[in-house]
Structure 1
Amino acid sequence: MINIGLLVVFACFIQKIYANQPVTVTTKYGDVLGYQTDVARVFYGIPFAQPPINSSRWQPPAPVQKWSPNVINATVPAPACPQPECKLPPILCPARTSEDCLYLNVFTPIKTNSTPLPVMIFITGGNFQFLDASAPIYESERFVNTTNTVLVFIQYRLGILGFLATGTGPNDIKGNYGILDQRLAIAWVKANIGVFGGDPDEITLFGQSAGGQSTALHYVSSDMQTFFKRAIIQSAPITIPFRTYLEYVTPSVLLAEQLHCAVGDIACFRRASYQDIILAQTVINNMLTSLKLLLFFEPWVPVIDNNVVQGQLLDLVKNTSFPLKELIIGTLTEEAVFFVYEGWTKPVTPATYGEVILATFLEDALKVIEHFPPDSISDLRPLLSRIATEWVFACSTRVFARKAASYSYVFGYPLDFDGWGNETFCNGHVCHGGELPFVFESAWVNFTDAGRRVSESIATYFTNFATSQDPNEPMRVATPWPRMSSGNEKYMYFKDPLEVRENYLKDDCDFWDKIGYGKSFFNIHK
């Protein structure tokens, strides 16, 4: 989703820089030159695919070729994949972009002894069209040092260049290139992480927001099961639907108009510069391309091609033909606050609230208003935020979790330093993406003592899970995290102090279950 881990401004984020020492790792492709700090080894911008440029645009990624005797300089971040102008705080915006963007970053502890370490591969969020793998919130030197884990961040094609789908013909743009990039990156890690000290048989796949949707997709895909052992899904807006090819017709027509191409002239699309494509994407982002209004918030999603993507996530998790792997899944308490307050910069009146609910739910609107009656005459944005948090994130996640989860969590601790910048509506709230600096311990110097306890706790539970499939072992934890089971929907509530609770949002989620998720939030009912 569009802030996607994104809106946390860490004004004091830059930590003390120590004299870095060069460090070289030899892969089967050639040498990689990274650097070593006082706590970790860092390798930025390792290529896992050939550049998807020229005739390789809108093609499945091709594996990287040997670069020896050349040496990859992995001391600076690679460019981000092309994306619209970043309107976020500069510290979160990519410094540069390029179509040549299929790279990954590796963080390891300094000492990687003879016993291979557990590996965690993180798929970043960003609405499937923003950000990159090298944002400061992902600076994980402390994380790998304190948890003795190897951590990898991967980049993938975004937006139109990663997800546009025009059809299945021989000359068509078939879509899902961003997902195929992720698959190739995961395969590269499994084949090569051993030389970085990682155990290729102990890979945990995890991701947040659009990265959480991606992780969920890999989790329920039969041909990905050999590449990872367990998964963690963070803040996935599971209710947002993937598109069909038919639902990509309107965006394709709009793209043709913006590029001054004839409708269906794929060759014209291919001749356009990526800069012109991104300008067109920026314009189309402000247009309504589907009656499923949630696609306005995430317009460039995977396409159901019955190959890479077999269906919607909730349908897939209910109908797998293979045993599901161990899973941690959860959401934040106020996921939608940012989106609602960004969308409505002025207070929402009861009249506007009624219009929004009616336009959204049509024949179910009265049921929704009865369940969520206006609770203010001055501003109903808090109520809209609650509805969207439950519908788009928490309650559809509960459906997924009931089928698949081993452990469930809710994150309820707001940033405890001045981290949201101009997004003051998130101050004191647990906005989407707000858990990321705690997970990766990347704003450690800014946290209060309570924040450090929360950060240390979630990092320990997650890496314990990556090590043993049990968040309670091997590192000692003060509060045991119980497994989720039928009739026992206990979850870890991340706050200070930690709590184990049960039946999160039960009454409201029972209501949304009756409304149903299959037709999707903001969909026209039939």
Structure 2
Amino acid sequence: MATTTVSQLLAFAALVFVGHDALPTKPDGPIVRTQYGDVRGMYAEEGDIFLGLPFGVPPVGELRWKPPRAYNTSWAPGVRDGTVPGPACRQGGCGPNSADYQHTCNRDKARTQSEDCMYLNVFVPRSVLNSTARLPVMCWFHGGEYRYGTGAALVYDGRILANKTNTVVVTTNYRLGAFGFLVTGEGEDDARGNYGTLDQIEALRWIQQNIADFGGDKDKVTIFGQSSGSDSVAVLLTSDMATDLFHQGIMMSVPFSIAHKTQFEAIRLGNDVAKFANCSAGDMKCLRSKPADEILDAQEEVSTFIANPFRLLEIFLQWGPTVDGDILARQTVDSFAKGQFQRKPFIIGTVGEEAILYIYLAITKPMSKLELDAAALAFLHGKGPAALHEYNPPQTSDYRPFLAQAVTDWVFECPTRNAIRNVVTSGEGDVWLYVFDHVWSFKTFWNDFSYCNGHVCHGEDIPFVFQTNLLANVSFTPDEQVLADAMAYHYGNFAHTGDPNKPSPYVYTTGNVLKSPLNWPRYNQGNQFPNMNFTTPQNVMVHDYNKEKCDFWDKENIYSETN
């Protein structure tokens, strides 16, 4: 495989579109009384929006590389301005002059980012106005390789999703890259990693303590995310630390086959960061004294560092949770295989051509058969020949499509099937599987990623979940609107009832939603392993999706770090 640059790795983030302007808001926004004081949000056509609510003490100075501390400061008697987002967490790019075609940067004009970034956003549907109802909560963890993104990005605006599912939607920040996941050692003052995950847990604690003020039900919390955000959901489902903080999950495109680093591997990476920051290995006083820009520069310098040469896939997910035996006890795919996970309902799935995006970014020219063979051996080692034999591509001038298909199966689709089957075998029956395979009609939104036009690339389902293209005056086709509303129907039912089929009278069912939505059976052998195919012109049910290729990967037993 060709060398992957840092700019190319950006593609592994949830690269999706959104437009320029939100629907108009009204002056004199709603005021909510919280334990910290009153906060004024803004009215939108779909309900109320509250941006930039603090959930943690700023992790700066001596608190850099420390677990988050709950926000505990009153802003009374003043009224907090909830119409502007808090800063995004520090990351490369997303500066005031950076291109942001997918609108994954902070939504304010300055695209503010800071280490002081423990902020979340709440979207309340209009049904809550003047009501005492307590609605289910959907808490979103954004994707972006654990290096990029923010909960305040316009692409993740939750107003339409909240209104159509009749839920309270929360989107949150969490520390990214070296700030969120640096490991320098196991001493008391060392950076021990997993701070970004702890931030997510702290946001969930905030929901437990405060969401009732916004009409939410703390006893009905669904966590959901895409890419590294869905990996976060998988981590929380297998971590004892989050057991009482949520009740079910939705995982969109978990890259299960990209292993989380061991402590030893993470320390190797951390030592390199220290070196480029001109600090001795493990010198926390030196590292905490460095300006954030210097930490980002050091992070950039190590962007092609491989901690384990036998797991080259880590180049696509260099940062993230570390297997520490505490927050993350083992690889998530192993936890599902061993039955060591929380017995909670979940929905999980992938898009049809996950790997097109980053294969074509990493390899910018047509790929020869020799290069394909070399990539298979480099990434799969002794199992490379078997994979080449299984996929057996015909002679062609460019083998990238075959590599993308194999990587989609190996990294996303088949370990997802493996995980959900292991969950069912362990006795959890309330699980559902899907594949999204619709090619969107608004081709300009891939902009510089033109090779995704005509394909269902990683992240292509996000506009259909949030329907944020409507905020940019970019319409779906009629069939696409039906698809988006059908997804809102199933996800809304799931948030309300724990079953995507069990109707809730509060979920949007008029207009474009079919009067008789397709039944989505639980995933099990008795139901012939059903897979909801989210597509146009209407959803269909397939059984034992991609069986041949996933049987092959299961037989090779290559998902786990121990194989």
The 8 Å contact of residues 220 and 320 in structure 1, kept in 2 or not, is answered as: no
- Tell me the secondary structure at the aligned position of residue 29 of structure 2: strand
Whether 1:499 aligns to 2:540 is yes
Alignment deviations for residues 383-436 of structure 1 (CA, whole Å, 9 cap, x no partner): 111111111111111111113361111011122113211110111211111111
Aligned mates of 1:396, 1:459 — CA distance in 2: 26
Contact 1:202 1:467 in 2 (8 A): yes
Deviation at 1:21, TM superposition (A): 3.6
**Equivalent residue for 1:63?**
70
SS state of the match for residue 267, structure 2? helix
Counterpart contact for 1:125–1:209, Cα < 8 Å: yes
3-state SS of the aligned residue for 1:3? Answer: helix
Match of 1:363 among 373, 382, 396: 382
2:163 equivalent to 1:145: yes
Quick check: 1:276 aligned with 2:276? no
Secondary structure at 2:468 match in 1: coil
Whether the 8 Å CA contact 1:36–1:110 is kept in 2: the answer is no
Residue 82 (1) aligns with residue 121 (2): no
2:46 paired with 1:39? yes
SS class of match (1:98): coil
Tell me the percent identity.
35
Q: What amino acid is the match of 2:431?
A: S
Which moves more between the two structures, 342-351 or 322-331?
A: 322-331
1:430 to 451, 456, 473: 456
Q: How does 1:282-431 map to 2 (within 5 A)?
A: 282-291=300-309, 292-320=311-339, 324-404=343-423, 406-418=431-443, 419-431=445-457
What residue is the counterpart of 2:549 in the other structure? Answer: 508
1:4 Cα shift? Answer: 5.2
Query: Given that residues 395 and 509 in structure 1 are in contact (C-alpha distance below 8 angstroms), is that contact kept between their aligned partners in structure 2?
Result: yes
Counterpart of 2:487? Answer: 458
User: What amino acid is the match of 1:92?
Assistant: T
Q: Secondary structure at the match of 1:22?
A: coil
Residue 321 of structure 1, CA deviation: 5.5
Q: Deviations over 1:201-241 (max 9, x none)?
A: 11111111111111011112233221111111111101111
What does residue 233 of structure 1 align with?
A: 251
**Correspondence for 1:110:** 126
Q: Where do residues 116-127 of structure 1 align in structure 2 (5 Å cutoff)?
A: 116-127=134-145
Q: Would you say the 8 A contact 1:4–1:210 is kept in 2?
A: no
Q: Distance in 2 between matches of 1:318 and 1:287?
A: 30
Residue 323 (structure 1) shift: 5.5
Q: Does the Cα contact within 8 Å between 2:273 and 2:298 map onto a contact in 1? A: yes
Residue 104 of structure 2 is aligned to residue 92 of structure 1 = yes
Amino acid at match of 2:432: Y
| Cα distance, 1:377 vs structure 2 | 2.1
CA contact (8 A) 2:104 2:150 kept: no
Contact kept? 1:9, 1:89, Cα under 8 Å: no
Cross-structure match for 1:24? 31
| AA matched with 1:449 | P
Deviation (angstroms), 1:264: 2.7
Structure 1 counterpart of 2:494, which letter? F
User: TM-score, normalized by length of structure 1?
Assistant: 0.95
Check 1:451–1:517 CA distance in 2 against 1; reply closer, same or farther (3 A cut). same
Instruction: Please say if residues 5 and 434 of structure 1, whose CA atoms lie closer than 8 Å, have aligned partners that are also in contact.
Output: no
Quick one: which amino acid aligns to residue 519 of structure 2? P
CA contact (8 A) 1:234 1:330 kept: yes
Asked if 1:214 is matched to 2:214, the reply is no
Aligned residue for 1:482?
521
Q: Normalization by structure 2: what TM-score?
A: 0.89
Query: Which one is further off, 64-73 or 409-418?
Result: 64-73
1:72 pairs with 2:98: no
Distance 1:478 1:264 in 2: 57
Task: Supply the distance in 1 between the matched residues of 2:69 and 2:127 (Cα, whole angstroms).
Answer: 33
Specify which of 261, 269, 277 is matched with residue 243 of structure 1. 261
Structure 2 CA distance, aligned partners of 1:322 and 1:279? 37
Contact 1:123 1:153 in 2 (8 A): yes
Give unmatched runs, 5+ long, in structure 2.
1-8, 424-429, 510-515
Cα offset, 1:322, TM superposition: 6.7
- Measured in 2, the distance between the counterparts of 1:352 and 1:462 equals 42
| Residues 313 and 379 in structure 2, CA contact (< 8 A), matched pair in contact too | no
In the aligned structure 1, how far is the partner of 2:392 from the partner of 2:308? 28
- 1:441 aligns to 2:467 (yes or no): yes
Question: 1-side partners of 2:28 and 2:254: how far apart?
Answer: 38
SS at match of 2:333: helix
Deviation string for 1:343-398 (max 9, x for gaps)? Answer: 01111111111111111222212111111123342111111111111111111111
Q: Against the structure 1 CA distance between its residues 142 and 84, is the aligned structure 2 distance closer, same or farther, given a 3 Å change threshold?
A: same
| Mapped partners of 1:486, 1:145: distance in 2 | 35
Structure 2 distance, partners of 1:42, 1:424, is: 34
Once the two structures are superposed, what CA deviation does each residue of 1:445-482 show, in whole Å capped at 9, x if it has no partner? 42111111111111111111000011112256521111
What is the aligned length? 521
The answer to whether the 8 A contact 1:6-1:88 is kept is: no
Q: What is the DSSP-based 3-state SS (H/G/I as helix, E as strand, rest coil) of the residue aligned with 1:227?
A: coil
Kept in 2: contact 1:5–1:436 (CA 8 A): no
1:43 deviates by 0.7
Give 3-state SS (helix, strand or coil) of 1:446's partner.
coil
Instruction: Measure the CA separation in 1 of the matches of 2:399 and 2:61.
Output: 49
1:61 aligned counterpart, secondary structure: coil
Following the alignment from structure 2 to structure 1, what is the Cα–Cα distance between the partners of residues 199 and 21? 30
Amino acid paired to 2:328: V
Residue 438 to residue 21, structure 1, CA distance change in 2 (3 Å)? farther
Which amino acid is 1:413 matched to? H
